[in-house]
Structure 1
Amino acid sequence: MSFEKSVFINCPFDDEYKGMLRPILFLIIDMGFEPRIALESFNSGEARIEKIISIIQECKFALHDLSRIKSTKVGEFYRMNMPFELGLDIGCQRFKGDKWSTKKCLILEAERYRYQAALSDLSNSDIAVHNNDPADAVREIRNWLCTQIQIKVPGSTRIFGRFTDFITDHFNELESQGHSKKDIENYPVAPLMDDIKKWTLSNPWHL
């Protein structure tokens, strides 16, 4: 996929975030973009930071979800991977020049203004709030991408409905192949993206 249609996803990878990540992946693919994420491939011999830098350079668009940077337990540290990768993305846009100067990013949070306690330099930035609700995340990202390249796609409610249809079909297909419920819950990102692409091609939307 081209630089112009690639979207870097910078987000948590914990189990609790799966319910947010899957509809985001579906949305991006259903809109005709290519999601790029560190989990798209696994190579023990490749340093993760090098993979992330490479992906950032290959994407015009980026989503940075900072909703999980705050520690939630006593003795737990702030999760700084997401802000760090946001900084890499902004640095690429500001300093690399050429086509990279056209890079765009959307910052996501669960609550408005909460991020300012840790990242005050972003105090004047536009932040999309998803309230830890996948449907809200789909709405915010869909609307943002539409404004960036002026495309016409179905509304977020319809796209989220298509996502739930996909999840049902996907679950039934995997179950018929002998996957357990636990297998399906832990289905890897790379084949999931492939399956989303196949489903959206077989079930195109019409305005």
Structure 2
Amino acid sequence: MVIAEKKNEIARMNMPYELGLDLGASWYGASPLNSKILLVLERKRGSVEKALSDHAGFDLRTHEGKVDLLLREVRAHFYSHLSSQHGGIRTDFPTHDELLAEWPLFLTWIQKRPGGTLRSESEIQHMEVAEFKDKVRQWLEAQKEPPQSQSPAYDLIREHAQERYDRFIQDAITPWAFFNTTHGISIDLPNGRTIRYSGIEFSGSARQVFWETFPESCIREITKTFFEWTRKLCAERKLSPILPLKETAMFLEGGLTRCLDRMAEIDRKLRGKGSPNSVPRYNPESERRALEKIITTRLKAELRLAGALA
């Protein structure tokens, strides 16, 4: 359902129409139609009720435009349904944290074409539903590869990446949200510099520092220390470092999605001065490519040291 936002603009009501068809099929259709389960998601609580006063018979969940909440609500919906079925919940049913950790890895994977070039964010957003579903199936199949395709350190590396990026987002990215406050911001960079701003507008050189100097310095340090951590782990556990180093790069690239999404969210709020919907969301595609290059360059150097490359 697309809400009308301007005078004389007509709301698109295809969602209520399709929902009506599904409800009718579940009530009057033969098997398997009469066993349909329905999940309706809304960005803001109560928004659907304005168009659908009676929505008995299906769940209504709110995601607030956040991937974290969306994954949580979709998982909860399926968990609730499967728990009432014969056989109950499978032992390998993923947790919310597992899904959240896999999401940036999927985004990194879908951005890459078979030839090695990258798809733009716009291309992915406008991908046909059928093609996107095919990509999801391919991703799921790729996750079924035999265990030997993953190193013994895989889970430890994934956990370390999650913790490292959590700290970076909390300690370094989120403080930028207070840029427009009276106190301003003060953020220490790994290279010894300190970013301080107070009483100025989030534009020009300040915004350039936010999108260029700040992430470049931090991701370079995270990449360096993460690879050092992996090499130390392999030495302590007497593991061949080749595959763990590649997995380290994979999780580093995957974490960029979370960081850049959070930065784009803050950037929009600061430019909108309290009204984020009044300005378009910035697409950090060029920044992503530059940061990924830091990771891939370091990976090549690490593999050479490990004897993988001539």
Instruction: Give TM class, smaller chain.
Output: 0.5 to 0.7
The Cα of 1:99 is off from its aligned counterpart by 3.3
AA partner of residue 32 (structure 2): K
Aligned to 2:42: 109
The Cα of 1:172 is off from its aligned counterpart by 3.1
Q: What's the Cα RMSD here?
A: 3.0
The Cα of 1:192 is off from its aligned counterpart by 2.9
Q: CA distance change for structure 1 residues 146 and 191 in 2, over 3 Å: closer, same or farther?
A: same
Distance 1:180 1:174 in 2: 14
Distance 1:182 1:115 in 2: 27
8 A contact 1:174–1:184 mirrored in 2: no
Distance 2:114 2:124 in 1: 7
Q: Which one of 61, 64, 85 corresponds to residue 131 of structure 1?
A: 64
Report whether the alignment pairs 1:169 with 2:109. yes
Report whether the alignment pairs 1:154 with 2:94. yes
Q: CA distance change for structure 1 residues 184 and 127 in 2, over 3 Å: closer, same or farther?
A: closer
8 A contact 2:112–2:118 mirrored in 1: no
Aligned to 2:51: 118
Aligned to 1:79: 12
Q: Gaps spanning 5+ residues in structure 1: where?
A: 1-67
8 A contact 1:135–1:157 mirrored in 2: no
Report Cα offsets for 1:26-74 as digits up to 9, x if no partner: xxxxxxxxxxxxxxxxxxxxxxxxxxxxxxxxxxxxxxxxxx4421222
Distance 1:183 1:117 in 2: 33
Distance 1:188 1:99 in 2: 26
Aligned to 1:8: none
Report whether the alignment pairs 1:189 with 2:108. no
The Cα of 1:174 is off from its aligned counterpart by 5.2
Q: Which one of 46, 70, 90 corresponds to residue 23 of structure 2?
A: 90
User: Which structure carries more relative contact order (alpha carbon 8 Å, separation 6+)?
Assistant: 1
Q: Gaps spanning 5+ residues in structure 2: where?
A: 84-88, 148-310
Distance 2:53 2:20 in 1: 13
AA partner of residue 190 (structure 1): A
Aligned to 1:201: 141
Which residues of 2 match residues 10-25 of structure 1 at below 5 A?
Answer: none
The Cα of 1:203 is off from its aligned counterpart by 1.9
Distance 1:83 1:104 in 2: 16
The Cα of 1:162 is off from its aligned counterpart by 0.9
Aligned to 2:193: none
AA partner of residue 117 (structure 1): K
Larger radius of gyration: 2
SS in structure 2 at match of 1:128: strand
Distance 1:89 1:147 in 2: 20
Structure showing the higher strand proportion among its residues: 1
Aligned to 1:27: none
Distance 2:81 2:5 in 1: 34
- Normalising by structure 2, what TM-score? 0.39
